[in-house]
Amino acid sequence: MENHIERRSSCRRQRVVLFPMPFQGHINPMLQLANILYSKGFSITVIHTNFNSSYKSNYPHFTFRPVLDNDPKDNNLAKLASKGIGDLLLGIMLLNQCGADSLHRELEQMFVASKQQHEPIVCLITDALWYFTQSVADSLKLPRIVLRTSSLFCVNVYASIPLLDDQGYFNQADSVFYEENIMSPDDTSNFKKTKSSKPVLNLEEQVPEIPLLKVKDIIKMRIKGQEDPTGKLLANMLKQTKASSGVIWNSFTELEEPELKKILQYFPVPCFLIGPFHKCFPASSSSLFEPDRSSMSWLDHQSPSSVLYISFGSTAQLEEQQFLEVVHGLADSKQPFLWVMRPGFIKGLEGTEPLPKWFLDLVGERGRIVKWAPQQEVLAHKAIGAFWTHNGWNSTLESICEGVPMICSPFWGDQPLDARYVSDVLKIGIYLENGWAREEIASAIRRVMVEEERDEIKKRTKCLKEKVNSSLSKGGSSYESLETLIGYISSF
């Protein structure tokens, strides 16, 4: 990649400023996008918060500038992140409320420097969740383009939140019921009386307003309506995305074509589907965790398509009881596995050895446990037969790109929506919809790894992998969309 970049460095005339949200699932696609734009001749500046900024040294060809540098709310993001998604989203909202002055000052200083260097700043590209940046960009007459790091389907659902709220799908009683029943392995009830306009919610029922969803998918998003902090955050995000100069998506047309039609009706701005980003360059080192590369040598000794890869991302946590169900399910499946178990993954067991001795003795050499893994390389390895994932969009795309079937265990936010799309629309995965029961876990593993169902799923994943490669090739949908984007940015 370095030689590829150097060949283009002499013709740089315009600078693009990028502002990622400081979380693994948001940093990675933004830096991948930065590499793509750099390879097309743009100079790159990345502005960043203090929180999760250790990746800077891996990108010497970019300029990095801190913003919100002395804001205590930025410094508290790490504490908020450790408390859970609700506190974290509240922290993001606070930063959106207080960040405008700091960003405005930083950009003004950058404008002065860019004139001296004869490298005009042509646009600001920000994570969609940094919605406050639209007013800053407007005040400086600087075009702002939004990077949306989720699926198009997810954003279409978010756009329907007011309608779903009016229909009574969001309220605290439903959410409490879901947490206490559906999330536990012994749930047997599918019904719950609510305070909403609907007297009874059937959790297995399709949502008439969005037929791809079941009622329980909406509840699992953990949004309690338009006035909920998450609901407000999403509403502000959508409003300011509509006010932007365009939206970049880490997706490709062939993957979400029906959803694209809805997106184009909802957003009155240009949309550019140029993904999957990570396939444009070799794996970059923006991970916030150090990968254990011994996992690759272990995979080299396994049979083709025999290993289940397990990773639930960088923020999700399991309760101890859920974790034990996973342990029993893996033991009962009798399938080889590579399991990413990062520190703090199991609530209440930080700093202790969480795996029972009987489990370690039972699985022996057929299981490998690491704190973090080079995921893109793992998924591309011939030994991988399936991926048990939380269905963050990056992980979902990486699995699709390598033709790897999925077992879906989403936690919150976008993830239940991605899981539903993978299982019911693309039909390339099995959704563990009803929690963490060991019997269902073992059954899903066998279905996707060794039973007849595997062959049909594998055919569909292979077909999608071919579509990925086609979309990125000259004349393909993502290739052409990227060319259009480059021309659009250059025209500012």
For residue 163, with 0-12 CB atoms within 10 Å meaning exposed, 13-18 middle and 19 or more buried, which class applies? exposed
Run of H or E residues at 273: strand 271-273
26 given a catalytic annotation: yes
Q: Is residue 305 part of a domain?
A: yes
> How many domains are contained in the chain?
3
Task: Provide the residue range defining the domain that includes 38.
Answer: 2-156+228-283+471-490
- 399 and 265 belong to one structural domain: no
Which of 171, 187, 220 terminates a domain? The answer is 220
Q: Is residue 444 part of a domain?
A: yes
Q: Cα 48 to the chain's mean position, in Å?
A: 19
217 given a catalytic annotation: no
Q: Is residue 289 part of a domain?
A: no
The pLDDT tens digits along the chain (492 residues) read: 343 454 354 455 899 999 999 888 899 999 999 999 999 999 999 999 876 666 788 899 999 999 875 555 545 554 554 455 556 677 788 889 888 999 999 999 999 999 888 899 999 999 999 999 999 999 999 999 999 999 999 999 999 999 988 888 876 444 444 444 444 333 434 434 444 455 456 788 888 889 999 988 888 887 877 778 888 999 999 999 999 999 999 999 999 999 999 999 999 999 999 999 999 977 655 666 889 999 999 999 999 999 999 999 988 899 999 999 999 999 999 999 999 999 888 987 765 567 888 998 888 889 999 999 999 999 999 999 999 999 999 999 999 999 999 999 999 889 999 999 999 999 999 999 988 999 999 999 999 999 999 999 999 999 999 999 999 999 999 999 999 999 999 999
Q: Is the previous residue joined to 276 through a cis bond, with omega within 30 degrees of 0?
A: yes
The residue assigned the tokens 């007459």 is 141
> Which tokens in the block code for residue 392?
């963050």
- 214 and 317 belong to one structural domain: no
Q: Specify the pTM.
A: 0.90
- 360 and 377 belong to one structural domain: yes
Which of 175, 194, 220 terminates a domain? The answer is 220
Q: Is residue 209 part of a domain?
A: yes
Coil/strand/helix, residue 289? coil
CA distance 198 to 181: 20
- 337 and 366 belong to one structural domain: yes
- 138 and 181 belong to one structural domain: no
CA distance 42 to 34: 9
Q: Is residue 288 part of a domain?
A: no
- 403 and 442 belong to one structural domain: yes
The residue assigned the tokens 């936690």 is 411
Residue tagged active-site, from 26, 48, 278, 328: 26
CB 216 within 8 A of CB 182: yes
- 15 and 103 belong to one structural domain: yes
- 81 and 197 belong to one structural domain: no
CATH number at residue 414: 3.40.50.2000
Residue tagged active-site, from 74, 127, 414, 418: 127
- 70 and 136 belong to one structural domain: yes
Residues 6+ apart with CB under 8 A from 76: 91
Q: Is residue 409 part of a domain?
A: yes
Q: Is residue 391 part of a domain?
A: yes
- 216 and 142 belong to one structural domain: no
User: What's the one-letter identity of residue 313?
Assistant: G
CB 169 within 8 A of CB 215: yes
- 475 and 457 belong to one structural domain: no
- 149 and 166 belong to one structural domain: no
453-472 and 438-449 helices cross at what angle (nearest 10)? 70
**Residues written for the chain:** 492
DSSP characters for 97-134?
Answer: HH-HHHHHHHHHHHHHHHHHTT--EEEEEEETT-TTHH
Which of 194, 220, 246 terminates a domain? The answer is 220
Q: Is residue 148 part of a domain?
A: yes
